[in-house]
């Protein structure tokens, strides 16, 4: 079975531009989470979506938005890019392991965004 797939793998943007990153979860997984990993740091939680609804949001500005589609794939959008948005953006999928209990997170290889 395919794992979590993300696209594009690498991209370069300039300040002020907009970017859309895409994620396809493992088949059967209904939850998608997004993390930002700045070089030399641990991943920081951005969003979680479950069954197409936002279930959690990290401490990121409104320039960051996301959505989940009926097939459970997801997009992360970042507007008005800043130099500090340069990072590896990781998508993770999971499913319920019990009532209101989420199972293991499976991460994709990430989309590396460079803002010039």
Residues near another protein, by CB under 8 A: 4, 31, 33, 35, 40-45, 48, 55-56, 58, 90, 92, 94, 100-102, 104-110
Give CA separation, 10 vs 5, 15, 57, 88, in Å: 13, 16, 24, 9
Q: How far is the CB of 91 from another protein (least distance, A)?
A: 9
| Least spacing, CB of residue 35 vs another protein, in Å | 8
Min separation Cβ 62 and another protein, Å:
19
| Residue among 105, 86, 115, 114 nearest 23 (CA) | 105
Nearer to another protein, 39 or 70 (CB): 39
The nearer residue to another protein, 32 or 81, going by C-beta atoms, is: 32
**Cβ at position 75, least distance to another protein in Å:** 18
What is the C-alpha separation between 22 and 75, in angstroms, rounded? 5
**What phi and psi, each to the nearest 5 degrees, are found at residue 83?**
-55, -35
Cis peptide before 55 (omega within 30 of 0): no
């Amino acid at each position: 079975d395919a794992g979590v797939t993300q696209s594009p793998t690498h991209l370069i943007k300039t300040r002020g531009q907009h970017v859309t990153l895409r994620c396809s979860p493992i088949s059967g997984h209904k939850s998608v989470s997004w993390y930002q990993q700045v070089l030399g740091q641990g991943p920081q939680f951005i969003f979680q979506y479950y069954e197409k609804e936002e279930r959690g949001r990290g401490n990121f500005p409104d320039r960051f938005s996301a959505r989940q589609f009926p097939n459970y794939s997801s997009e992360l959008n970042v507007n008005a890019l800043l130099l500090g948005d340069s990072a590896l953006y990781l998508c993770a999928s999971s499913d319920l392991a019990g009532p209101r209990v989420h199972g293991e997170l499976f991460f994709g290889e990430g989309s590396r965004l460079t803002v010039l």
